[in-house]
Structures are given as C-alpha cells and as structure tokens.
C-alpha cells in the first residue's frame, strides 16, 4: 500500500522549533466588522507540531464525511458532518464581506487540514479528531457567529448562506502535492506585498510554501501597525530575555540594528547589543504583528513599525480577496500561494 513519508529531517526541525514557541504563535483569526482581527500575543494559523508525522495509518475504517470535534471550552466531543464543520471554520477565519472565491479558497485549505486530522488525530482532542481552538483549527457555531455581526437577522442569515455556498461549491476538495495530501496549508491575515519561504520563518523547507508576490493589500487596516516602548522598558525586556545583550541607555543607539532580511522581505537577523537573534524571535519578544519591521530609537523611545499581519507563509487571506476581486478563481488563488499543488477530491487521495 502507498504510504506518506514526509521528510523526517524536516519534521524533526519543525518539532524542535515549535516546541518552544507553539503557545505564542498559534491563533485563530476572529472576524469583527469585516476586518480580520487577532487576539493579543497571538499569530495566524501556522505550521503545527505534529504528534504523528507520517500519514500511514490504516484508513480503511475511516468515514471521511464525518469529523469528531473536541470543544475545549465545554470539554465535550461532537461528531458532525465534515462539510458542516468547514462552514464553521471559515466563519471563524474570514469576513463574510470577502469575495466568494476567496472564501472558497479558505474552505479548501481548511478541509485539507481537517482531513489530515481525521487521519492523524490531535493528541489534545480528548479522543476526537481535532480540537476547536488555535492548536488545530478554530470552529464557531452558527449561533455564536450570528451574535457577533450586529446586523439585521436577514443580513446575518445571508452571511451564513454565503459561507455555506463557499463550502458547497468546493465540497470534498483538498490540496495535494505530488499526489500526497498537503500537510501544512498555512495561511495568515495580511502580507506586505510578498509572502515568505517556510525555510525563512519555520526553519523547515516545505516545497509548496515558497515566497510569492501578493500585491494590493495596502488599504487593509491590518497592513500597518506600530509599537512604542520607553527606552527603559525596551532595555528591561531585552536584557531579561537575553543576558548577554547587556543593553543600557548609554549604548542603545549603536547597539540595536537590523542585520539582514529574508528574500520575502521580513527581518532575518537583529543585533541586540551582545547578541544576534532571528527576526521571528524579536517579533515574539515584542509581540509584533509581523516580522517585517523597522526599529527607531529617538527621544527616549523605541519605535517599531511593522507592515503585514501574521507569519507571512502560505496564503494571504487579504491577498486572496484582492485576487478574487480581480476575477481570479479559488483554485488559481490556491495554486498561486501554494506552489505546485493540485486540487483534488478527497476520494482521489490515497492515504494508505
């Protein structure tokens, strides 16, 4: 029987890297008033540390029309129709105001990850396939989502029908790469005009997660952000984390600088006094919205300005909507952001 043997070296790197930062950077994207907004100290969906790295389970007894979801808040499990579940996922991940082709692209990406978890269940799902939090994929019920829009009942019903349409028109469709299920259908909120290679961000070279152009997102409220700290706050934060930095008010101007950038534009390495750290580490330390930033020290303040929102790998949700507005279909959107993939029916994927 055919087995999926994803490169073991890649998987070991992913596991080591994310064991230390998983709690800081996995998030849902919660939609408010048509804008993608994220909770503090969080990031968009990212490469997840897999409990079972090879999809080589016996799947003869699997029913791929159903998925068992662990609701963390109520500590309960619920089996539901897979397509119904995907409606709740895209309702949690995307604004209803987005173009239907962008919603369809999100539905295919979400279904891809769900299929992965049906085959290799989440160890935190308490016996279910998948949990409904940031650890796996966020799910929201119709009842909860309807109460968040603050629209008329008719408008809210039409929003939900739009999500249902996106799922129905992509029913059973998932991403594949070289005949295998895509394990990491990464996505994030807003790009800075390009996406990043997975190797630059996650230290794992996933072949379909390559840097691509993603223009037209500058009008998003998520595109620019700013963080300002006093010099004293910045020094304390850095020195507490990196003892060898040895920053002080007297040496700060010459001791903090961006040393290099990644091909996609995010910061690769930062100098902080006596230490050099990755741009992704600096982002986590300062709770920045992206790793594409500038640093300015002036008038007793340290100002960090970011462009983009999220880790920058895979599909930009805002970019997908820009492409959809220009008439691009969902499958072409996905093929743009995930290089070399094909869109196949679940029935065409051999998981044994």
Question: pLDDT tens digits, residue range 91-114?
Answer: 999 999 999 999 999 999 999 999
pLDDT tens column, 284-298: 999 999 999 999 999
From CA 352, how far away is CA 350, in angstroms rounded? 6
To 10 degrees, what angle do helices 317-325 and 100-119 make?
140
Asked if residue 208 is part of any domain, the answer here is no
| 71, pLDDT greater than 60 | yes
Together in a domain, 280 and 231: yes
Count up the domains in the chain and report the number.
2
Asked if residue 11 is part of any domain, the answer here is no
Together in a domain, 86 and 177: yes
Together in a domain, 75 and 174: yes
Asked if residue 5 is part of any domain, the answer here is no
pLDDT tens column, 183-198: 999 999 999 999 999 9
Phi, psi values for residue 272, rounded to 5°: -125, 85
Asked if residue 228 is part of any domain, the answer here is yes
Together in a domain, 336 and 300: no
pLDDT, residue 185, reads 94
pLDDT, residue 35, reads 42
Of residues 149 and 36, more confidence is placed in 149
pLDDT, residue 47, reads 54
Together in a domain, 90 and 140: yes
Together in a domain, 297 and 322: no
Asked if residue 296 is part of any domain, the answer here is yes
Asked if residue 47 is part of any domain, the answer here is no
The whole model's pTM is what?
A: 0.82
| 50, pLDDT greater than 70 | no
Asked if residue 41 is part of any domain, the answer here is no
Domain extent at residue 241: 224-307
């Amino acid at each position: 029987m055919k087995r999926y043997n994803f490169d073991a070296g890649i998987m070991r790197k992913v596991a080591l890297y994310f064991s230390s930062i998983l709690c800081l950077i996995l998030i849902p994207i919660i939609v408010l008033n048509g804008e993608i907004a994220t909770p503090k100290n969080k990031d968009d969906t990212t490469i997840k540390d897999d409990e079972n790295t090879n999809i080589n389970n016996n799947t003869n007894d699997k029913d791929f029309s159903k998925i068992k979801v662990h609701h963390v808040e109520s500590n309960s499990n619920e089996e539901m129709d897979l397509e119904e579940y995907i409606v709740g996922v895209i309702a949690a991940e995307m604004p209803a105001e987005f173009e239907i082709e962008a919603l369809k692209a999100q539905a295919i990406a979400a279904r891809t990850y769900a299929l992965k978890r049906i085959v290799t269940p989440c160890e935190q799902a308490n016996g279910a396939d998948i949990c409904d939090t940031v650890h796996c994929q966020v799910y929201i019920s119709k009842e909860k989502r309807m109460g968040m829009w603050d629209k008329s009942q008719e408008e809210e019903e039409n929003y939900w029908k739009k999500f249902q349409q996106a799922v129905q028109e992509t029913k059973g469709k998932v991403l594949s790469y070289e005949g295998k299920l895509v394990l990491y259908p990464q996505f994030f909120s807003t790009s800075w005009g390009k996406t990043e290679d997975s190797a630059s961000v996650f230290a794992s070279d996933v072949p379909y997660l390559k840097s691509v152009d993603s223009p037209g997102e500058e009008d998003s409220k998520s595109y620019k952000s700013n963080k300002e700290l006093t010099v004293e706050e910045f020094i304390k934060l850095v020195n507490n984390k990196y003892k060898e930095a040895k920053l002080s008010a007297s040496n700060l101007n010459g001791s903090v600088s961006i040393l290099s950038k990644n091909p996609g534009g995010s910061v690769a390495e930062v100098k902080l006094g006596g230490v050099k750290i990755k741009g992704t580490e600096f982002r986590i330390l300062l709770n920045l919205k992206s790793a594409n930033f500038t640093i300015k020290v002036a008038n007793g303040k340290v100002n960090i300005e970011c462009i983009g929102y999220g880790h920058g790998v895979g599909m930009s949700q805002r970019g997908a909507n820009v492409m959809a507005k220009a008439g691009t279909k969902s499958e072409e959107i996905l093929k743009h952001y995930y290089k070399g993939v094909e869109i196949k029916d679940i029935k065409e994927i051999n998981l044994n």
